[in-house]
Amino acid sequence: MYSIINISGLAIGMAATMLIGLWIYDELNYNNHFKDKTTIAQIFQHESSNNIIETSPAIPRPLEFALRQDYNDNFKHIIMSSWEQPRYLNFGETTIYRTGNAMQEGAPEMLNLDIISGEKNGLKEMNSIMISESTAKTLFGSETALGKIIKVNNEDDLVVTAVYKDIPSNNSFSDMEYLIPWKFYVTTQPWLENAKDSWGNNSFQAFVQINENTTMEAISAKIKDVKKIGDPSEAEFNPEMFLFPMEDWYLRSDFENGVQSGGRIENVWLFGIIGLFVLLLACINFVNLSTARSEKRATEVGIRKSIGSQRSQLIFQFLSESFLIVLLSFVVALGIVLLFLNGFNNLASKAIEFPWSNIQFWLVSLLFVVITSVLAGSYPALYLSSFNPVAVLKGTFKSGRYSSLPRKVLVVAQFTVSAALIIGTLVVMNQIQFSKDRPVGYEKEGLIQIPVMSSEFLGKHEVMRTQFIASGGATSMTTLSGPTTEVWSNRSGYNWEGKPVGFQEDLAYTNVNYDFVETLGLKLIEGRDFSREFATDSNAVILNKTAVKYMNITNPIGKYIRDSDTEDPFTPLKIVGVIDDMIVQSPYSPVKQAMYVFEQYGNIAYYCLRLNPNKSTSDNLALIEGVFKKNFPNTPFDYQFVDEEYGAKFRSEERIASLARVFTALAIFISCLGLFGLASFVAEQRTKEIGVRKVLGASISQLWLLLSKDFITLVVIALLIASPIAYYVMGQWLQKFSYRTSVTWDVFAIACFGALIITLITVSFQAIKAAAANPVKSLRTE
């Protein structure tokens, strides 16, 4: 019984810690696929407006020319890149929708792409495309991909010049399923020509690999003012360029007012601590139960000593016993890890493999086994071996009054950790629920968006809208220049009546269409939706509530926003409506000031449709697909549910919450296992006392109370220690969300109540068993 509790408790703890360890290892080794990880960077810029510094990877196109001209000797590669973008890739009957980038020639070499067939400089020719192995398989099956022609977005024919191995999932660019030449991108997108000289158009990314004789910091210092020098008029935003090292991309990607402020690394720390705690709990159990048991072995020690065993032999015996048990637990733990690795990968969205061949892993494991054995074995080894055999055998040996004190301290430590984990998990779950309950400002259910990013869709949206509605699958439609759940464009440089002097605005910008308010189910506060009845609506804008406040416009309806501070070459935008804020970006942050401008220059990325509420979703989708296929027979019908896209915003926190739940449950389980073992030990130790008390008239409930009271006291102490710690730590954690819940008393009430109930249940089993025993038998154990 003790051995089962001991081994399984320790094994579960070890397994949990191993899983967390593997997760952390995977996180820390993000981007390890790139052998030049330490010398690769992305160029970022800080820009300030109204004294707030924002940091972003979006850079202007002229930066490339300036870098090449004045700073070229610092870099091995300077690679301009588009944003990752989905495109239709067609070959024969097969059309697929894949994401990829347009990059300059050196990219495959810098990213160390593993070329399966073709050549590394596959971006050299204008009409070429490099594709990943899995993309090649989907498009060409077992046929050779090399030299085949792929039709991209139903417009351009590109020749496959190389197939590269898929980039493993725990790396940046792992979604890069194709690469097309930058020069092809520049040639086919006319607006890039205009962007060539515009330092204000931050629509690109640039990656660099630095030379070995220099450092990121040194180069960052050199290129800091490139933008200001390139265009002095940009100086008002105080732009500062710098290199953001690849090593920091994944774990330290957050910036707060221009200062790097962590990121996922916090989760690594969090789970590292949880892992250590779980392991600590398991070790505490092991030590506690081993030492508790060892006192029962006093007689054995007496006998061994009386027949001539040396003290050193006894010490060796206890230590090797403990080592064997820990080793056995470790083997069981390995089994548990292998069994649950898949489930864990699903839970954590990972593709971790067991590190059979990783020497580090085995060394750490061995070290751990040895340390735990010594910890658990040394108390019995040193203490028991010191017993006087005569006293032990005569039965006059008694363990000291305070011999149970260390055990009590350890139980308190265990429950402090468990209670803190319970409170922490509850707060994380509360925060997620709180943000999910936040009104989004539009009706996200029954809304789909269809990506329409190629030119074949141009100008067809009114026709499509009529057909979609006529089919009965949708009740209304509008178009969007970016998805409902993201801001793709931010703009500044406007002028309006009452604009404060020197105000540097920063507005989220989306092009929308007729029936915008109706389709999304937005709440109009003032004015109206875009309407076909007003010819002037082609130059109209709807603002959100925050924008009206931010721009300080009173009575906004009918007022104008001009496109420039100076002489205005464009028609001004007339404000026709104000809507209640809709959450587009983080559900944890305040809604950003946003302008929804009537569609201009065919800037349409999505058709957004309100499904017919009187039909089932599958019927609606079938009808919509029918219309879509009739008009665009060669384009796959692709769509997203807006509510699912919105739900995805919680994924990272939900993943943390589900991991936290699992490990909290484990921590509680391990603690209870230990408590159960200790309770049965104590009940056994007090058998005589229970018998005596029973003879003297104690009832079962009185005895149950007597036995449980001590444990309850320990748990109450643990709760008193854990509560303020958890309150402080979770309070700090919540600070990172501007839209946040608070740490409320009910969280503590639930945690305390839960911990006490769990303790009582665990302890009661043993207590009642002992209390109900026949006192005659208890007294006979003398």
Partner 1 sequence: MIQITDLEKFYKTEEVQTIALNKLSFNVKEGEFVAIMGPSGCGKSTLLNILGLLDDPDGGSFMFNGTEVAGYNERKRSELRKHNIGFVFQSFNLIDELTVFENVELPLIYTGVKPVERKKQVEAVLEKMQIMHRRNHFPQQLSGGQQQRVAVARAVVNNPKLILADEPTGNLDSTNGNEVMDLLIDLNEAGTTIIMVTHSEHDAKYSHRIIRMLDGQKVTENILA
Instruction: Find all residues with CB under 8 Å of 194, minimum gap 6, and list them.
Output: 201
For partner 1, the closer CB: 577 or 691: 691
For partner 1, the closer CB: 569 or 697: 697
**Smallest gap, in angstroms, from Cβ of residue 324 to partner 1?**
34
For partner 1, the closer CB: 337 or 767: 767
User: Would you list the DSSP string of 371-397?
Assistant: HHHHHHHHHIIIIITT--HHHHHHT--
Q: Which residues of 726-750 are buried (b: 16+ CB within 10 A; e: fewer)?
A: bbebbeebbeebeebbebeeebbee
For partner 1, the closer CB: 77 or 694: 694
**Smallest gap, in angstroms, from Cβ of residue 655 to partner 1?**
50
Q: Token pair for residue 629?
A: 């296929």
**Smallest gap, in angstroms, from Cβ of residue 683 to partner 1?**
14
**Smallest gap, in angstroms, from Cβ of residue 775 to partner 1?**
6
CA–CA–CA angle 678, 680, 684 (5° rounding): 115
**Smallest gap, in angstroms, from Cβ of residue 407 to partner 1?**
15
For partner 1, the closer CB: 517 or 698: 698
- Taking alpha carbons only, the member of 600, 418, 583 closest to residue 512 is 600
| Contact between residue 17 and residue 342 where contact means Cβ atoms under 8 Å apart | no
For partner 1, the closer CB: 263 or 775: 775
For partner 1, the closer CB: 695 or 720: 695
**Smallest gap, in angstroms, from Cβ of residue 319 to partner 1?**
31
Q: What are phi and psi of 781, to 5 degrees?
A: -70, -5
Question: What does each C-alpha distance from 504 to 51, 161, 236, 507, 738 come to in angstroms?
Answer: 9, 47, 9, 10, 23
Question: What does each C-alpha distance from 252 to 174, 248, 256, 533, 653 come to in angstroms?
Answer: 18, 5, 12, 51, 17
For partner 1, the closer CB: 351 or 776: 776
For partner 1, the closer CB: 371 or 772: 772
Residue with tokens 């991108």: 185
For partner 1, the closer CB: 369 or 712: 712
Question: What does each C-alpha distance from 421 to 278, 429, 484, 673 come to in angstroms?
Answer: 10, 12, 36, 17
Calpha distance 638→97 (Å, rounded): 8
Residues linked to residue 527 through DSSP beta bridges, in sequence order: 577
Instruction: Find all residues with CB under 8 Å of 371, minimum gap 6, and list them.
Output: none
Q: Token pair for residue 136?
A: 């090649």
- Using CB under 8 A, list all residues that contact partner 1: 398, 688-689, 691-699, 702, 774-776, 779, 782
Q: Is 681 helix (H, G, I), strand (E, B) or coil?
A: helix
Calpha distance 561→495 (Å, rounded): 6
For partner 1, the closer CB: 396 or 555: 396
For partner 1, the closer CB: 358 or 699: 699
**Smallest gap, in angstroms, from Cβ of residue 347 to partner 1?**
47
**Smallest gap, in angstroms, from Cβ of residue 702 to partner 1?**
7
For partner 1, the closer CB: 189 or 701: 701
Residue with tokens 């347009």: 102
For partner 1, the closer CB: 72 or 699: 699
Instruction: Find all residues with CB under 8 Å of 49, minimum gap 6, and list them.
Output: 237, 492, 504, 505, 506
Q: Which residues of 569-586 are buried (b: 16+ CB within 10 A; e: fewer)?
A: eeebbbbbbbbebbbbee
**Smallest gap, in angstroms, from Cβ of residue 772 to partner 1?**
9
**Smallest gap, in angstroms, from Cβ of residue 699 to partner 1?**
7
**Smallest gap, in angstroms, from Cβ of residue 701 to partner 1?**
11
Calpha distance 1→677 (Å, rounded): 9
Enclosing H/E stretch for 78: strand 75-81
Residues counted in the chain: 782
Furthest C-alpha separation in the chain? 109
Q: What is the Cα gyration radius of the chain?
A: 34
**Smallest gap, in angstroms, from Cβ of residue 406 to partner 1?**
18
**Smallest gap, in angstroms, from Cβ of residue 773 to partner 1?**
11
**Smallest gap, in angstroms, from Cβ of residue 301 to partner 1?**
21
Q: Is 114 helix (H, G, I), strand (E, B) or coil?
A: coil
